[in-house]
Amino acid sequence: MKRKITLKQIARELEVSISTVSKALKDSDEISKDTKQKIQAFAKLYNYRPNNIALSLKNRRTKNIGVVIPDIVHHFFTTVFRGIEKYANERGYNVIVCVSDESYDKEVVNMELLANGSIDGFIMSVSAETQQKNDFHHLREVMDQGFPLVLFDRVIDEIECDKVVMNDEEIAYEATCKFLEEGKKKVALVTTESYFNVSEKRAEGYRRALVEQGADYDPKLTLVVPFRGGEESCIDAFFEEEEFDAVLCVNEVFAVQVMGIAQEKGYRVPEDISVIGFTNGLLSRYSSPTLTTIAQHGERMGEVAAEMLIEKLENEIGFEEEETYRTEIIEATLIERNSTGKKK
């Protein structure tokens, strides 16, 4: 077992000083050609690489990005993560992930840990519990300490920082319009509890479309599925109690469940009931019928988030300069498959 070689060891071996070695390896012209060659050859032979930790300590930057997300077994988040990781790697950054598991406490603890020197900045999507509690002191804390923060998807209006969001409201509007164009009359919405602000925005777009297009907005046609469990029976009951001919779902799992239950009950999709879901994942592609879906372009979101963060990291602002924050909007797109009909 050969431990990694250090400057000091090279110096001792070659009987020169540490600083000479350091300079030689940077090809400084303070050092004579001969010594440089000798040192460089030796370093190459022993495959010398500077120790990242020592560099981090010295430079006060780790070249690590902290990513805090609610869940990792989740198509959208992994997609975003892939975008982050790709862009960050290209720029020489590594990514440390922490999963909050939708828990406020974990989120806080993890971020504190990372903030003790492990990373240079954060990219995050806040946990459900955090949104519920409406307590964001941990975000303020890290920003106070000088860590750039980029929020994506589940962002917080009260926090001033860079953000990357989707045009949730508009795309929900578009999707709803699509149903109406198809000739559908009673469009339902299946959503999650509203402290997820993305759900709220999607619901707004849905409502606005109905009202503006002169269709009926009936609050009873909105089904709020509880956070964990019991979706199945919940949706089943919804079918029994209400009547509708189109359903917009805030995720693809709901959408596939809606299609399944509809078909069990003898409705045809899309002839009797059209369905659109958010999240263009595997389910959408392989369900029957295949699902018309809203692609969130998570990878792009990740790239943009990473780009914004790294820009902040590499352009540390001067004293008197005003800090400015941007909000980038990623345009979702509607992907038409077979769970919706043609325009009339």
Partner DNA sequence: TTGTACGCGTTATCAA
Partner DNA sequence: TTGATAACGCGTACAA
Give the footprint of DNA on this chain (CB under 7 A).
Answer: 6-8, 15-20, 22-23, 25-26, 29-32, 34-36, 48-51, 53-55, 57-58, 60
Task: Tell me the closest approach of the beta carbon of residue 242 to DNA, in angstroms.
Answer: 60
Task: Determine how many CB atoms are found less than 10 A away from the CB of residue 148.
Answer: 22
342 binds, among DNA, a second copy, none (CB under 5 to 8 A by kind): none
78 binds, among DNA, a second copy, none (CB under 5 to 8 A by kind): a second copy
Which residue, 9 or 222, has its beta carbon nearer to DNA? 9
Which residues contact a second copy (rule: CB under 8 A)? Answer: 1-4, 49-54, 56-57, 62, 64, 72-75, 78-79, 81-82, 85-86, 89, 94-99, 110, 112-118, 144-146, 253, 256-257, 260, 263, 281-283, 286-288
Enclosing H/E stretch for 71:
none
Task: Tell me the closest approach of the beta carbon of residue 142 to a second copy, in angstroms.
Answer: 10
Do 83 and 76 contact (CB within 8 A), yes or no? no
Bridge partners of 67?
Answer: 97, 123
As a whole number of angstroms, the distance between CA 215 and CA 174 comes to 14
Which residue, 40 or 263, has its beta carbon nearer to DNA? 40
89 binds, among DNA, a second copy, none (CB under 5 to 8 A by kind): a second copy
As a whole number of angstroms, the distance between CA 40 and CA 200 comes to 61
Do 77 and 70 contact (CB within 8 A), yes or no? yes
127 binds, among a second copy, DNA, none (CB under 5 to 8 A by kind): none
Q: What is the DSSP string of 191-217?
A: EE-TTSHHHHHHHHHHHHHHHHTT---
Report which of 277, 309, 303 is spatially closest to residue 290, judged by C-alpha positions: 277
Task: Tell me the closest approach of the beta carbon of residue 324 to DNA, in angstroms.
Answer: 27
Structure tokens at 60: 């006060």
